Amino acid sequence: MEILYAFLLGFFLLLVIYLFYNHKSSGNANLPPGKTGFPVIGETLEFLYAGWKGHSEKFISDRVAKYSSNVFKTSLFGSPSVVFCGVNGHRFLFSNENKLVRVWFPRSINKIFRQSTETFSTEEAINARKHIRTLIKPEGLQSHIGLMDTFAHCHFVNYWENKDIVLVFPLVKHFTFLLACRLLMSVEDPNLVAILENAVKFVLKGAFSVPIDLPGTPLNHAMKASSFIQKELLVIIKQRKIELAKGMTSPTQDILSHMLSTSDDNGSFMDEVDIANKMFGLLVGSHDNIASVCTSIVKYLAELPEIYQEVCQEQQEIAKSKAPGELLNWEDIQKMKYSWNVACEVMRLTPPSQFAFREALTDFTYNGFSIPKGWKLYWTPQSTHSNHELFPEPHKFDPSRFEGSGPPPYAYVPFGGGPRMCPGKEFARLEILVFMHHLVKRFRWEKQIPDEKIVYIPIASPEKGLPIRLFPHKA
């Protein structure tokens, strides 16, 4: 009887919330078309399920077709939301950053990364972002190409050569994490790297989970992993401060040293906790998305032998031009034009992330519809990447789309756009091209699961990890 009473009480509370929410929403008759789904959870499960099943674009395309509108309302991650689609939607959101809209993350992300929507768009956070962007500009990254080349060589020797079959996604994630630890904070101790890498796996699993912090839930595991990582980062930061004070290391050694040594326009330095937070975000963001792209490149090159052959020819010519032991340099990277066009087409067809959020800072009107203050705003690369008007035959793999001036503005957005365009875009380009260079100059390969799906949990990844059979090039 008590269980039945508890169930009825819970149902009644959900009904009250639902009716209140619908009443509040219907108070503005000029909202975009759409539905808000179930009480509290809205359409979140349907949205996530589409990604889990390998059809992430279907959630958007079905509603655009149903409502004949490039903007529609829904409810995602516990909040009333409006989805902006197409070039105009991207242009509007990117152009109004910190004016009409600001970045927003689901509650699970805020709990894990200890960032809130109230602090993420403050002047301090904006200055920190400018600081990070300054550190990873192309001219600053050029000095890291040799290190990337060395790491890639060691990775392929240790994990790919003399192997018959390899599982691509885990291997590439390990490579990008190793490189991130080295380039961001000069950490090479294999035991420490392994500990951090294992903890990051829990973080990613809980990033877009149900926001319930109870023992055993993905969010709870992710929050514990987050605390552990940040404590480890604080130890690294404190030790680095000592080394810098004693002149044992250079302020330009890596991004961590630069953060500790560089003040803002007011002469203030970032405190240790803030640096740990920023390093945590960089550590996660600078390896997982790149691993997703590199894995997708392996997939498409296996499926498209004519594309593989052109990439291989370009990379083999560069390899032949190098003296024994000579490392890749900036001039070599600039010669990889076709390879980068291929990588861009991969990111068009399979963007590593399927969505990003903003929040309305005030009431405003878009496309004749009223958007209330506080509502969450969602955009997705796939709303333009799959548009046949922007990309003729959108499902065809065609690297020539990126020749010349490339796609129209706001059509191709794997790195976002506007003030919040990913600051690590050039870092990603270098790492992806170095990976491609070492991959194709050594092997051709075949997929072991021909129809393996790409799913989003939360980033694009092959359902079974992409096992491939390797065929080394003859000497």
Other beta carbons within 10 angstroms of residue 27's beta carbon come to 9
Distance CA 129, CA 213 (A): 29
263 belongs to a structural domain: yes
Task: Tell which residue, 197, 257, 259, 268, has the closest CA to residue 232.
Answer: 197
Q: What is the pLDDT confidence band of residue 439, given thresholds at 50, 70 and 90?
A: very high
CA distances from 432 to 85, 168, 191, 439, 441 (A): 28, 14, 26, 10, 14
Same domain (yes/no): 163, 271: yes
Q: What is the pLDDT confidence band of residue 119, given thresholds at 50, 70 and 90?
A: very low
Q: What is the pLDDT confidence band of residue 131, given thresholds at 50, 70 and 90?
A: low
Same domain (yes/no): 225, 182: yes
For 65, what's the count of Cα atoms within 13 Å in the CB-facing half-sphere? 7
Residue 87's CATH number = 3.30.43.20
Same domain (yes/no): 175, 263: yes
pLDDT for 296: 97
235 contact partners, CB below 8 Å, separation of at least 6: none
Same domain (yes/no): 182, 279: yes
Long-range (24+ apart) CB contacts under 8 A made by 63-66 are: 63/34, 64/383
Q: Answer with the residue of higher pLDDT: 422 or 347.
A: 347
Same domain (yes/no): 185, 230: yes
Same domain (yes/no): 111, 133: no
Q: What's the mean pLDDT in 353-369?
A: 93
Q: What's the mean pLDDT in 197-226?
A: 87
Predicted confidence (pLDDT) at residue 22 exceeds the cutoff of 50: no
38 belongs to a structural domain: no
DSSP 3-state of 196: helix
Tally of domains in the chain = 2
Predicted confidence (pLDDT) at residue 116 exceeds the cutoff of 60: no
Considering 203-217, 368-382, 422-436, the range whose residues carry the highest mean pLDDT is 368-382
Same domain (yes/no): 177, 247: yes
Q: Answer with the residue of higher pLDDT: 174 or 114.
A: 174
pLDDT for 472: 96
Is residue 164 within 8 A of residue 472, CB to CB? The reply is: no
Residue 242's CATH number = 1.10.630.10
Predicted confidence (pLDDT) at residue 23 exceeds the cutoff of 50: no
Same domain (yes/no): 184, 286: yes
174 belongs to a structural domain: yes
Is residue 275 within 8 A of residue 254, CB to CB? The reply is: no
Task: For residue 56, report the phi and psi dihedrals to the nearest 5 degrees.
Answer: -60, -30
Query: What is the tens place of the pLDDT at every residue in 45-64?
Result: 888 888 788 777 888 889 98
For 72, the token pair is: 């529609």
Predicted confidence (pLDDT) at residue 463 exceeds the cutoff of 90: yes
106 belongs to a structural domain: yes
Query: What is the tens place of the pLDDT at every residue in 239-273?
Result: 999 999 999 998 888 889 988 988 777 888 888 98
Same domain (yes/no): 65, 152: no
Domain membership of residue 178 as a residue range = 120-304+445-470
Other beta carbons within 10 angstroms of residue 15's beta carbon come to 11
pLDDT for 75: 92
Q: What is the pLDDT confidence band of residue 109, given thresholds at 50, 70 and 90?
A: confident
Annotated binding site for heme: 422
pLDDT for 40: 76
pLDDT for 106: 83
Same domain (yes/no): 377, 455: no
Render 344-379 in DSSP notation, one character per residue.
HHHHHHS-SB--EEEEESS-EEETTEEE-TT-EEEE
Same domain (yes/no): 146, 261: yes
Q: How much is the pTM?
A: 0.89
Measured over the CA atoms of residue 137, residue 143, residue 148 and residue 149, the dihedral's sign is positive
Distance CA 379, CA 92 (A): 11
Helical residues (DSSP H) of 186-304, grouped into ranges: 190-206, 218-245, 255-261, 272-285, 288-303
| The residue to which tokens 């990003």 are assigned | 356
Greatest pairwise CA separation for the chain in angstroms: 81
For 90, the token pair is: 């991207």
Same domain (yes/no): 111, 149: no
Annotated binding site: 422
430 belongs to a structural domain: no
Is residue 29 within 8 A of residue 368, CB to CB? The reply is: no
Predicted confidence (pLDDT) at residue 179 exceeds the cutoff of 60: yes
Is residue 71 within 8 A of residue 367, CB to CB? The reply is: yes
88 belongs to a structural domain: yes
